[in-house]
Chain A
Amino acid sequence: MFLAIKEMLHEKLRYSLIVALIFLVSYLLIILTGLATGLANLNKAAINEWDASSIVLNSDSEGRLQQSFLSQDEVASLPNNGTRISQYSTLVKSENGLKENTQLVGLDSKSFIFKKLKITSGSKNIRNNAGVVSDKFKSDGFKIGDHLLVANSSLRIKITGFTPRATLSALPVVYISPDTIQPLNKGVTNAVVFKNKLENSKIPKGTNQLSISSFIKKLPGYSAQQLTFDFMIAFLYIIILIVISIFLYILTVQKLPNLGVLKAQGVSTQYLILSTLFQSFIISVIGVIIAIILGEITAITLPSEVPIVIDKSNIIVTGIGIIIMSLLGALIPIRQIAKVDPYKIIGG
């Protein structure tokens, strides 16, 4: 690709400009996808940790955990390998004044969800008003052995362990026993979570089985938020496609006479097209790589309140996306190259 490289080296300014543009848009894309993932995680991370496949809720709850109440009979008629979830959202304070909005989740210590829970420090114990809490508490200054004072209640929950990735609807989770949550919400069961999907015949009337993924989609605000991000991301892809097309179009128009003469001199159209594709590929790879590096640096330097998660799959998808866009952007210039008639240039 002699021709392609020589041209880029000779026209450094022009090609640096395109690289800069690709970089800026890719950077924005990486940050946006990072935020989308981060916010999505805040909403659903705890549920993912459960590693379950379905959830049974009250039919009238529209898939909302907080609005779902299952009767004793309904719970009793469901298979008993499910985990009964009892939840209560509230504010908790530590004795030295730290505050946290939180989701209290009551579940049995023999349930599969509790057995699954990972611990980053402390122990996994929820007996006698003890709680295993999201490690968000740890980063906010809470320690093992601290007591959480529940607002409007005399309940004191002792922190015994920290568990990672435990957020639900953007709030850190506190796992406690059914006995501990009983005085707060009368011990109601909001939902039963199952490791495997249940046959429809096993689902009592008045209740409704949802897959975990559709349950997540129905989390308050979740879909609206993700759609907004998807929309912005899609637009950025379109913008980058248009920008690259225009840039390459102008560059190609400017050198069309030379390309025509090269054709007359026996340079194949295929070679010229490959040159352009190669250039397009190189500029997007450089732009994307700079964007990835800066994206990572940004993610590290941003305060931890900004929920940005730049993971490998995001980077790969964005990188490939941008490269595909820039190759697509080369299509119009390629058409021009294919069409240019050496005679038109010579005859002029």
Chain B
Amino acid sequence: MSNLIFESVTKVFGEGSSKYVALENINFKAESGQLILVVGPSGSGKTTFLTIAGGLQTPTEGDVKINDSTIKSLSEKQQTKLRLEKIGFVLQSYNLVPFLTVEEQFKLVDKLKKQNLTEQKMHELLSDLGLLELLKKYPNQLSGGQKQRVAIARALYTDPDYILADEPTAALDTDRSMKVIELLRDLAHKRNKIIIVVTHDLRLKNTADKVYQIIDGKMQMIN
């Protein structure tokens, strides 16, 4: 069983008069098999929350634990390995390497993980996301929504325990958004993953197992 725990996490940017509290005393726990939605207005601290969860930033106070080990106690190398093997990031932009075709984006992961799953697994994922005909295309030949879906497929491709997605549906129409969220929810439920999706798309609220809201750096469960 995987889990992700925030223990009294506070994140402060800047010092003195420019000091800004982006996250304030957050306690949060996610367990395998859950799709968790984090909503909130712009600038409320959602991305900050997600990057701390993925170990891209360290909290000013408090601890973040992944599978019961504190992230900040891991070496740089261990953190890189953790991100490669356990975490799938889907970001707001720049997810895809511009000079690699869709197919090669997956091959890169194979090279890095010294594995070779490409053919079968990639086809499965891409057909689930309706992307099969895009294999030979470069990112600049894709629409915003297609790019976003390839990014999701790429994050899923490493079969991570955690998927951290920042506005993964921002570029998608309602139909596609629902499909993507359903795919993520199925993954959480059937494959026992922890999936955290940051969004301001309130239409997605009902699909999640839990919904948290962040306002001015404070987090509360609303559903």
Contacts and interface: CB of A to CB of B under 8 A. Distances in A.
Interface of A: 2-3, 6-7, 10-11, 255, 257-258, 260-269, 271, 341-343, 345-347
A7 B98 CA distance: 9
B112 A6 contact: no
A292 B188 CA distance: 60
A261 B91 contact: yes
Interface string B31-55: 0000000000000000110010010
Interface string B54-96: 1011000000000000000000010011111101110111111
B78 to A, nearest CB: 11
B85 A343 contact: no
Given A3-B108, A6-B104, A265-B84, A346 B166 contact: yes
Contacts of A262: 97
A279 to B, nearest CB: 12
Which 3 A-B pairs give the minimum distances between C-beta atoms?
A266-B84, A266-B83, A10-B99
B11 to A, nearest CB: 11
B111 interface: yes
Contacts of B51: 342-343, 346-347
A259 to B, nearest CB: 9
Interface size class of B (residues with CB under 8 A): 35 or more
Nearest to A342: B56
Contact of B89 (A6, A255, A265): A265
10 contacts: A2-B104, A2-B108, A258-B96, A263-B80, A265-B88, A265-B155, A266-B81, A266-B84, A267-B112, A346-B166
Nearest to B92: A346
B149 interface: no
B100 A6 contact: yes
A266 B112 contact: yes
Contacts of B200: none
Contact of B80 (A7, A255, A268, A343): A268
Given A265-B84, A266-B87, A346-B166, A258 B98 contact: yes
B47 A347 contact: yes
B107 interface: yes
Nearest to A255: B98
Contacts of B80: 263, 266-269
B47 A346 contact: yes
A260 B84 contact: no
A48 B77 CA distance: 58
B188 to A, nearest CB: 20
Nearest to B100: A6
A1 to B, nearest CB: 9
A54 to B, nearest CB: 61
A257 to B, nearest CB: 4
B81 A11 contact: no
